[in-house]
Amino acid sequence: MLKPKTSSRRRFLLSGVAVAGAMVVGWGVMPPRQRLRGKAPLPVENGAVPLNGWIAIAPDGGVQLAMPRAEMGQGVHTALAMLVAEELDVSLDAIKLVQAPLDKIYSNLAVMHDNWHFHPDDDSSGKRMAVRMLEKVGRELGIVITGGSSSVADAWGPMREAGAMARALLVAEAAREWKVPHEQVRTENGVLYHDISKRQASYGSRAARAALGQPQEFKVKDPHSFRLIGTPVPRRDSRIKSEGSARYGIDARPQGMVYAALRMSPYVGGSVQGISPGEVTGMPGVLSVIDFSGALTEKSGAGAGVAVVARTFWQARQAAAALPIRWSDGGNGALSSESIYAEMASALANDDGFVYYSAGDMEEGKDALRTIRSEYRAPFLAHATMEPVNCTAQVKDGKVRLWLGTQSPTFAVRAAARVAGVDESDVILHEHLLGGGFGRRLEADMVAQAVAIALECKGAPVQVIWTREDDMTHDVYRPAAIARMEAGLDGAGNIVSWDARSVSGVLVHQFIERNLGLPGMGPEKHTAEGLYDMQYEIRNQRISHIAVESAVPLGNWRAVGHSHNAFFKESFIDEMASAAGKDPVEFRRTMLLNHPRHLAVLNAAVAKAGKAPQGRAHGVALHQSFGSIVAQVAEVSVVDKEIRVHRVVCTIDCGLVVNPNLVAQQVESGVVFGLSSALDGEITIKDGKVVQTNFHDFKVPRMNAVPLVETIITLSTERPTGVGEPPTPPVAPAVANAVFALTGQRLRSLPLRLA
């Protein structure tokens, strides 16, 4: 059940953070460790020679690049290879990806930036020091992870530097051999040239000796000299995915593999009370019945349960369905969506929460000519990835082998080692493509299950496959949330005060406890992101959040807190524009005078959208997340209370663009994903159980309901920022605002449903 955290506990935790910060100030100002040479050996093939921790070159000139990020449809394997190809002066086709070992140089430092609640407009030295410290913490933790729309942002430095360093080593070796200044050696398409003497040599012929040397001072290219970065290069994985030869985790087929089908507790937090394995052990192909409950950490998506292992998945599935199991509800038999919302509402009424951001004097709001108060709600949401959860594991001769697609190799290996009782160095991970991640595959519950089952399979590899029903009812869900918004208008229709209070469970606390074994504590910025960090210039603001305990497992969902807080914020901005009698676009423009990038993005989207056709209306939303600014205009019609989105114009400022094709594809993906949650997405709880079980009651847009998505990418010289998640948050408010323009009904709860 939900339980508000007391203010005194929050103050205590904040004090602890402050003390810890004071203790590490000296450490925090030290330079970060290098990320070019690791301790783990770089896996190489065909006689390739490593030139640093990222790049090896084979005698035939082929470049092998260590890839630490997961490809789950976002095109990151193309984008990151482009960074190295640019700096190394080779063609993109020359680069072959190899799985990066678990080494701290591959840890994702950019994702750490997004874990402290600084306002984006804050440019203080305190913020810079905190970000630097978070980077250092991330480097020491060494967590290899794909998430937070951070892959390109994180790789922008080290992967380009790795390419530049490798090129410098090759140039230095050629200059030494040819006895010429290294400035006279140029590179092009994997070949070294000395134009004066007409000499040339391939990278492959000089790599072995280059690896023994030290490069001259090297630096990455100036963006003006880019030849590859910024071009619309086709994705490297398009062909294999189109022809069906791409290998996902579910496609793993190690020799001697058997299959496991699951029965997991139907109750949130439930447990196995008793089983009768004899009822199914005689069924065709059945090998064993295994209770894996003890392998799981608290509040994982995979609840307590039992596996049936058989020679084929169909045999395992049939036997699992027939297995008699007695369940305990774990004390949550009365849990329901209604009770969860009621307790959150009570927390809003009785707790002031933690203030994430304040400005000006809220007392001025008491003199407002008019005050508007509204309450908004968002439900739990499942990830619903196309590839269901799966993991293949083998425990044999003191070693554990894993085959799966994962967003966090670090957590997968740790979970396997914990369950099998071996060192992490004894876990061998074979990474595969992911058929969608959206944050679900940051978790390692499926790994813990598979290893626990494999321990009982006498050395045979076992593949655990969840059904869609397993997946839907045992997710780590986006938190349900409520926001109470209050703002005052002066006589000119300007906002003079803005007070946003929200309440939800804290997903990151649960995530840390599950995956790092550490207690989650202190204010957690993802609960209030999208509210406290808005760029509208409102003189008097206060944004607070109340954290409550959640029996429902919570996890990272695409765009995390922005996914619902953008709906609260942008819908209420529109509501205030209506109350002021102003055009919603003009209303926003007057509050962006000191934010030219935001204003430019908004103007570009509105200009492209033009005027809505007869019978339709436009709704606007502007939101910043993961460093990127997105404006969307949704073109909507309503017929017989059915909301139909025909067109979405999306402008994005995501810094310097590596590949505009990938940006456009991610925008389209994010819009459709956001539309799914805006119109249909909802997970409800009844009698302690998740109600929705498959795509018939957790709907996603069919092809005939997908709108035309038009992408505008603004030119920028800033460092690259996030792309995968930022297009999702503005969708719901843009659609809701269009519905209001058409019908006069203000929809304040997701999914959007007309009365």
What's the CATH number where 175 sits?
Answer: 3.30.365.10
**pLDDT for residue 115 is more than 90:** no
Residues 169, 175, 178: CA angle, nearest 5 degrees = 140
Residues forming a β-bridge with 479: none
% of the chain with per-residue pLDDT over 70? 96
At 30, the pLDDT band (50, 70, 90 cuts) reads low
Query: Is residue 664 included in any domain, yes or no?
Result: no
633, 609 contact by CB (below 8 A): yes
3-state SS assignment for residue 618: strand
CA 326 to each of CA 241, 261, 263, 329, 487: distance values in angstroms, whole numbers, following the listed order: 43, 17, 11, 10, 52
What's phi and psi for 158, nearest 5 deg? -65, -35
Query: Is residue 167 included in any domain, yes or no?
Result: yes
Q: Which whole number is the average pLDDT over 217-224?
A: 93
Please tell me the total number of residues recorded for the chain in this structure: 755
Which pLDDT score is estimated for 7?
36
At 137, the pLDDT band (50, 70, 90 cuts) reads confident
Query: Is residue 179 included in any domain, yes or no?
Result: yes
pLDDT tens digits, 560-594:
999 999 999 999 999 999 999 999 999 999 999 99
Query: Is residue 58 included in any domain, yes or no?
Result: yes
Mean pLDDT of the chain: 94
Among residues 565, 570, 468, 484, the alpha carbon closest in space to that of 526 is found at 565
At 32, the pLDDT band (50, 70, 90 cuts) reads low
Pull the structure tokens for residue 193.
């040239």
Q: Which domain holds residue 78?
A: 49-242
% of the chain with per-residue pLDDT over 90? 90
Query: Is residue 677 included in any domain, yes or no?
Result: no
Q: Which whole number is the average pLDDT over 475-487?
A: 98
Sheet holding 628-639, edge to edge: 617-625, 628-639, 642-653, 708-713
Pairing type for strands 689-690 and 685-686 reads antiparallel
Least confident of 11-15, 141-145, 434-438, 677-681: 11-15
Query: Is residue 89 included in any domain, yes or no?
Result: yes
Least confident of 9-18, 118-127, 296-305: 9-18
At 135, the pLDDT band (50, 70, 90 cuts) reads confident
Least confident of 15-24, 179-188, 228-237, 609-618: 15-24
Query: Is residue 578 included in any domain, yes or no?
Result: no
Kindly compute the dihedral angle of the four CA atoms of residues 289, 294, 296, 297, in this order, to the nearest 10 degrees. 170
Query: Is residue 694 included in any domain, yes or no?
Result: no
**pLDDT for residue 126 is more than 90:** no
Which pLDDT score is estimated for 11?
31
CA 482 to each of CA 178, 228, 297, 348: distance values in angstroms, whole numbers, following the listed order: 70, 46, 28, 9
Which pLDDT score is estimated for 31?
55
- Give the number of domains in the chain: 1
Which pLDDT score is estimated for 19?
33
pLDDT tens digits, 511-562:
999 999 988 888 999 999 999 999 999 999 999 999 999 999 999 999 999 9
Least confident of 5-9, 50-54, 111-115, 632-636: 5-9
What's phi and psi for 310, nearest 5 deg? -145, 175
Which pLDDT score is estimated for 28?
52
Could you tell me the sign of the dihedral formed by the alpha carbons of 431, 664, 119, 123, in that order? positive
Q: Which whole number is the average pLDDT over 471-486?
A: 98
Among residues 269, 90, 273, the alpha carbon closest in space to that of 187 is found at 90
At 171, the pLDDT band (50, 70, 90 cuts) reads very high
622, 650 contact by CB (below 8 A): no
